[in-house]
């Protein structure tokens, strides 16, 4: 312990600096304190899941298969499944042996002995034995068994031995089929017993390897790219044109602004369904109009042909987001001083030249920001396509998010679906890095 040299005699100057530094410190710590809840939430609910997705993507994870419903890195045994089958299997084997004669009887006895041997092997581990007995007790009195209690870690050798013994039993019982009274019962019990062995489902980067060599994944990437590039480009051009045209004082600004906001404000899923009605092959007014003006040969082409479906999806997206784009660009336009245009007009610059030399350069950062957000939104597109075409016909509008969703929730293959969603994440990260590089340079040049 260090003795305090001047416990009761702090100099006044020191006291002053002390309170000052304390105040500074407190502002900083209050700052961290205030951002802490938000940061913790963002970390737990947004950042952790991305890493977890990556972790899951390295496992053969299938929610509908009990032996693969979790990410297992080591061998385990499900004692619930085991004890649901093992005692009955032994009983049945004994009964069959009682009724059998000669060689069959010997064989059955041997099978039973093998199973009992591996059962005692299991119980050698005291911790496992303890768990074994607890589960057994609960099953006896028909009480529910929790997942934690049921699943126990197992040595690799024991697990492989158990698996081999059980598989062996199934094979041998099958061979004896003709000589037994209830062979199907035995086979059923024995194959259920084999489900109790949980083997690690870690498969490394196999999902990525498979996906990267899978035509459907590349088709989805190309669909997403086509959708993103065409719709964002159309939105930018039309949005810019509208923004320039309405960048003036006129009667009814409020009404126009509200009109612009409505498509943006309604749920995408609802607007997608609305367009589905308008595109309908028999009764859709927009489909009818497109047929009349000769854009499509038949009304039904719109949602049932590959090109028609892609066009429909892009058209609906352009309708929904162009107004939003126009709004962002209009806000940018309004920061450009009109004196610039007046000066240019005096110097005899044409409208087109004014657009190229004044509007575009000064609007550049607004355009890039709008493009960044729109590109990322378009690349993640889900609701619109899910409701409008479901990815069809023949996967012609299936984007990468739709594919990942289908693999996860229709096929319940969470491992592969997670791999796909990580691929979406990486694509989005690359796109934003490219934009931010442009934006960053642009912002730096201004200084």
Judged by CB under 8 A, the chain residues 18 through 77 that form the site for another protein are 26-28, 30-32, 34-35, 37-39, 41-42, 45-50, 52-53, 56, 63
Q: Is the CB of 10 or the CB of 440 nearer to another protein?
A: 440
What binding mask, one character per residue, do residues 220-239 give for another protein by CB under 8 A, x or -? --------------------
Task: Please report, for residues 66, 163, 242, 328, 339, the alpha-carbon distance to residue 324 in angstroms, rounded to integers and kept in the order given.
Answer: 47, 61, 11, 6, 27
Q: What letter would DSSP give residue 378? A: H
Backbone angles phi, psi at 235, to 5 degrees: -65, -40
Residue from 171, 168, 159 nearest 198 by CA = 159
Restricting to residues 290-349, which ones interact with another protein according to CB under 8 A? 319, 323-324, 327-328, 331-332, 334-335, 338
Q: Is the CB of 187 or the CB of 369 nearer to another protein?
A: 369
Distance CA 79, CA 147 (A): 10
Distance CA 248, CA 241 (A): 13
Residue from 80, 119, 123, 115 nearest 186 by CA = 115
Out of 242, 243, 310, 313, point to the residue binding another protein (CB under 8 A). Answer: 242
Q: Total residues at the site for another protein (CB under 8 A)?
A: 100
Identify whether the C-beta of residue 373 lies closer than 8 Å to the C-beta of residue 324.
no
Q: Is the CB of 122 or the CB of 198 nearer to another protein?
A: 198
Distance CA 95, CA 364 (A): 85
Q: Is the CB of 122 or the CB of 415 nearer to another protein?
A: 415
Tokens representing 266 are 């309604």
CB of residue 183 to another protein, shortest distance in Å: 39
Distance CA 177, CA 171 (A): 10
What binding mask, one character per residue, do residues 410-439 give for another protein by CB under 8 A, x or -? ----x--xx-xxx-xx--x---x-------
Restricting to residues 386-405, which ones interact with another protein according to CB under 8 A? 386-387, 401, 404-405
Contact flag: residue 140 with another protein (CB under 8 A): no
Q: Could you tell me which residues come within 8 angstroms of residue 435 by beta carbon, excluding any fewer than 6 positions away? A: 368, 371, 372, 375
CB of residue 33 to another protein, shortest distance in Å: 8
Restricting to residues 247-286, which ones interact with another protein according to CB under 8 A? 247-252, 254-263, 265-278, 280, 282-283, 285-286
Contact window for another protein (CB under 8 A) among 3-11, 131-139, 186-194, 381-389: 381-389
């Amino acid at each position: 312990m260090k003795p305090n040299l001047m416990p009761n005699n702090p100099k006044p100057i020191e006291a002053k600096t002390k309170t000052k530094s304390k105040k500074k410190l407190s502002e900083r710590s209050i700052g961290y304190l205030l951002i802490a809840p938000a940061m913790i939430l963002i970390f737990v609910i947004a950042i952790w899941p991305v890493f977890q997705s990556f972790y899951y993507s390295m496992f053969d994870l299938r929610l509908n298969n009990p032996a693969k419903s979790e990410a297992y890195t080591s061998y385990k045994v499900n004692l619930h499944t085991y004890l649901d089958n093992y005692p009955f299997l032994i009983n049945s084997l004994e009964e069959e042996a009682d009724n059998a004669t000669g060689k069959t009887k010997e064989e059955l006895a041997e099978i039973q002995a093998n199973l009992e041997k591996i059962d005692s092997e299991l119980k050698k581990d005291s911790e496992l034995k303890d768990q074994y007995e607890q589960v057994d007790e609960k099953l006896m009195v028909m009480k529910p068994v929790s997942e934690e209690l049921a699943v126990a870690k197992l040595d690799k050798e024991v697990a492989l031995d158990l698996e081999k013994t059980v598989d062996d039993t199934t094979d041998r019982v099958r061979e004896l089929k003709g000589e037994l009274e209830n062979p199907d019962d035995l086979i059923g019990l024995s194959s259920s017993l084999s489900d109790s062995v949980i083997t690690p489902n870690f498969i490394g980067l196999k999902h990525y390897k498979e996906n990267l060599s899978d035509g459907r994944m590349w088709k989805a990437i190309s669909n997403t790219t086509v959708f993103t590039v065409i719709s964002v480009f159309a939105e930018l051009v039309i949005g810019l044109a509208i923004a320039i045209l309405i960048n003036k004082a006129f009667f009814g600004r409020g009404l126009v602004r509200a009109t612009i906001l409505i498509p943006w404000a309604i749920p995408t899923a609802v607007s997608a369904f609305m367009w589905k009605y308008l595109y309908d092959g028999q009764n859709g007014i927009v489909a009818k109009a497109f047929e009349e003006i000769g854009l499509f040969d038949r009304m039904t082409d719109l949602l049932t042909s590959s090109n028609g479906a892609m066009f429909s999806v892009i058209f609906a997206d352009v309708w929904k987001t162009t107004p939003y784009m126009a709004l962002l660009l209009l806000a940018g336009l309004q920061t450009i001083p009109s004196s610039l245009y007046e000066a240019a007009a005096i110097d005899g610059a044409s409208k087109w030249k004014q657009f190229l030399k004044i509007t575009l350069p000064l609007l550049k950062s607004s355009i890039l920001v709008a493009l960044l957000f729109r590109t990322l939104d378009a690349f993640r597109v889900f609701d619109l396509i899910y409701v409008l075409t479901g990815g069809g016909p023949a996967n012609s509008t299936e984007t990468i998010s739709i594919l990942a969703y289908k693999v996860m929730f229709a096929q319940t293959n969470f491992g592969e679906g997670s791999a796909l969603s990580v691929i979406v994440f990486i694509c989005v990260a690359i796109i934003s890095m490219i934009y931010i590089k442009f934006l960053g340079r642009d912002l730096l040049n201004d200084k």
